[in-house]
Structure 1
Amino acid sequence: MKKSLSLYRTLPRYDSAQPSAVTIGNFDGVHRGHQAILERVRKLAADRGLAPTVMTFEPHPRAYFARRGQRPELIPTQISSLRDKLTSLVEHGACQIALMRFNQHLADMSAQDFIEKLLVQGLNTRWLLVGEDFRYGHKRSGDIDLLRSEGRRHGFEVDTITDVVDAHGHRVSSSELRTALAVGQLAHAAHLLGHRYRISGHVVHGQKLGRDIGFPTLNIHTPQQCALRSGIYVVRAHGLGPDPLPGVASLGVRPTVTQAGRLMLEVHLLDCQVDAYGKLATIEFLEYLRDEEKFPDLPTLIAAIEHDAQCARDYFAFHGL
């Protein structure tokens, strides 16, 4: 059954006065720690007849301040695209998402206004779940104590959540997930996510070079600050047919064939042809094979692709699809 979602880019909501159970965060990756938070919101909302709600931000506040301060090296890498993040939030129980544009206006908003305009007037909040170190408002001036005192005044309850840990007692965090992806540790990333890492996007037209050299590819735009290490991967493609399709993928800037420098995911499906242009595909990353390389000429590139495709076939022959 398809879950319904109300997505709000401005508050107050234009179509609802229903009281809400709210959590606030960036939720990049929607990993197991986030999933535990969302499950608490979902259960309490169901018990109290509230709308389970996530307030999140685009871009990431750290990215906004890094760009404003001309410090691009401080921009955090992006685990999931906005589409993938919203999809995961809905899968884990959110039925309302307040997607707030993080800009100068929001950065300058006082802590008091954040509470009154966004939480009270904006979402009719009755219950709020945030981390113990949650800060908000101009220069991060708002804290939990202010939330609690304003909650008593406006009729909402504030709960905090401590760090979520895995079965071994290790904290599950977006920063640890970014580190795992940065070095191509797909098994550890899958442990933190609760599923294999994946990227989805519409298949777009590329330069057609792959077709010319006998390796047609599906081209998918990715976040330009994608957290996953550039390189060659064994993958499965979902959404292009009734069953997942085996493939080999390159995530990178294609240094042998272009100087453009735009990050692109190129997927070559093994031994099958599909008309995929315009379709929404989800690419699931199974195994890291090697780094992206700049080859001296096309014959060397073709030989490398043939070797990568054989490695992928060997993977599927051993593991199955």
Structure 2
Amino acid sequence: MTTLSSDFARQSSILRLACGAGGGEVLPAGLRGGVVAIGNFDGVHRGHQAVLAKTLQLAKERGRPAIVLTFEPHPRSFFNPAQPVDRLTDAQEKAAILGLLGFDAVVEQAFDKAFSSLTAQQFIERVLLERLGASEVITGVDFHFGAKRQGNPEFLLQAGEKYGFGVSLIEPFTDEGGAIVSSSRIRACLAEGDVVQAAGLLGYRYTLASRVIKGKQLGRTLGFPTANMALPEQTGLKHGIYAVRFRSADGSVYDGVASFGRRPTVDSDGSALLETFIFDFSGNLYDEFCAVSFFAYLRGEEKFDSLDALMVQMREDEAEARAVLASVKPLSLLDSHLTFSGR
């Protein structure tokens, strides 16, 4: 079992098991024979939630544990390490969200050379049967598995008939406009700074989680102390200023305004940094694993002629963010847990 370090873990109870192609942590006897959802589930968005809801429904009907089988790292990152996927949720966040949804365990299958070499038949035998003892499998209609993607939905259905486990294939989920909800579509929204549309597709506000680090502490001297987070280079969120909610490691939630980018006024050559000015807060957050949820894009990055001009704009940003956040409401029960609980 892996203990999560972020506050998401305090809100949910889920067992995380890490497995390699040849073995790994042993699935407890009480979790074998479960109903298993299979997928990457990056973002655990509304399309994923359709697969997951069916899994939870069947698990409840059959009196079986609800299990998620996912893969770490993302397969696309394994096959193209020079261009890793911009993850909407890392392994910790994803597992915690799955716990909030009601799952009993997430099995994180190591996607490495050994695993990628397994044939489709070996995947069925070693992972679904030997390791999980799956009684039922739920996945999308486009699921492929095994070396060179040789396993397809038809292969999975035939294996289920042969070995005695059920198979449910879920059609792609479409939004109110009839467009398919996908992780790549959400990333495209974030690249444009459209966190509102991204939230509509996710079913909750887009959230970034990381450990708070020490910065240059310039904001503190200007009266705007910030909690700084370094993020993966591939983070595709548009640089700019956002109205946000900040969750500290103890579960407390605060409104705030955040800057994501390279700080052109004071440090134009620096790497991208997420800096959050937390409203009505005083305390030490250094080295805590915290989360920032994005509610609205306020403006792009600007280079100001002076620090005084920057401070004037920061006060305007604060006022606008406070106004935006004063009227927000949860998009879903999941969104309420992630961005409203603890207030």
AA partner of residue 14 (structure 1)? V
Note the C-alpha offset of 1:197. 1.9
Provide the rounded CA distance (Å) in 2 between the counterparts of 1:313 and 1:146. 54
* Aligned twin of 1:148: 157
AA partner of residue 221 (structure 2)? D
* Aligned twin of 2:79: 65
Note the C-alpha offset of 1:4. 2.8
Pairing 1:217–2:243 present: no
Which of residues 11, 20, 26 in structure 1 aligns to 2:40?
A: 26
Equivalent residues of 1:248, 1:267 under 8 A apart: yes
Which of residues 52, 55, 75 in structure 2 aligns to 1:38?
A: 52
Equivalent residues of 2:16, 2:95 under 8 A apart: no
Gaps of 5+ in 2: 1-9, 330-342
Quick one: structure 1 residues 13 and 123, their matched pair in 2 at CA, closer, same or farther if it must change by over 3 Å? Answer: farther
Pairing 1:16–2:28 present: yes
Note the C-alpha offset of 1:243. 5.9
Quick one: structure 1 residues 283 and 153, their matched pair in 2 at CA, closer, same or farther if it must change by over 3 Å? Answer: same
Quick one: structure 1 residues 80 and 257, their matched pair in 2 at CA, closer, same or farther if it must change by over 3 Å? Answer: farther
* Aligned twin of 1:56: 70
AA partner of residue 315 (structure 1)? V
Note the C-alpha offset of 1:277. 2.6
Note the C-alpha offset of 1:318. 7.0
Figure out how many residues of one structure are paired with residues of the other and give that number.
316
Which of residues 105, 114, 130 in structure 2 aligns to 1:96?
A: 105
Provide the rounded CA distance (Å) in 2 between the counterparts of 1:295 and 1:183. 23
Note the C-alpha offset of 1:215. 1.6
- Return the TM-score normalized by structure 1: 0.87
Equivalent residues of 1:219, 1:265 under 8 A apart: yes
Provide the rounded CA distance (Å) in 1 between the counterparts of 2:154 and 2:250. 52
Provide the rounded CA distance (Å) in 2 between the counterparts of 1:80 and 1:275. 26
Provide the rounded CA distance (Å) in 2 between the counterparts of 1:2 and 1:88. 9
* Aligned twin of 1:123: 132
Provide the rounded CA distance (Å) in 2 between the counterparts of 1:294 and 1:103. 44
Equivalent residues of 2:27, 2:132 under 8 A apart: no
Quick one: structure 1 residues 299 and 36, their matched pair in 2 at CA, closer, same or farther if it must change by over 3 Å? Answer: same
Where do residues 149-298 of structure 1 align in structure 2 (5 Å cutoff)?
149-239=158-248, 244-258=253-267, 261-295=270-304, 298=307
Equivalent residues of 1:12, 1:123 under 8 A apart: no
Gaps of 5+ in 1: none
AA partner of residue 28 (structure 2)? S
Deviation per residue, 1:11-48 (Å, 9 max, x gap): 46525232121111111111111112111111111221
Equivalent residues of 1:21, 1:125 under 8 A apart: yes
Pairing 1:114–2:123 present: yes
When the two chains are superposed, the root-mean-square deviation of aligned CA atoms in Å is 2.6
AA partner of residue 200 (structure 1)? A
Deviation per residue, 1:273-305 (Å, 9 max, x gap): 233234343322121012224456544544443
* Aligned twin of 1:309: 318
Provide the rounded CA distance (Å) in 1 between the counterparts of 2:232 and 2:128. 30
- The more displaced of 32-41 and 166-175 is 166-175
Note the C-alpha offset of 1:121. 0.7
Quick one: structure 1 residues 249 and 93, their matched pair in 2 at CA, closer, same or farther if it must change by over 3 Å? Answer: same
Note the C-alpha offset of 1:85. 1.3
How many percent of aligned residue pairs carry the same amino acid?
A: 37
AA partner of residue 67 (structure 2)? T
Give secondary structure in 2 for the equivalent of 1:172.
coil
- Return the TM-score normalized by structure 2: 0.82
Equivalent residues of 1:33, 1:172 under 8 A apart: yes
Equivalent residues of 1:218, 1:266 under 8 A apart: yes
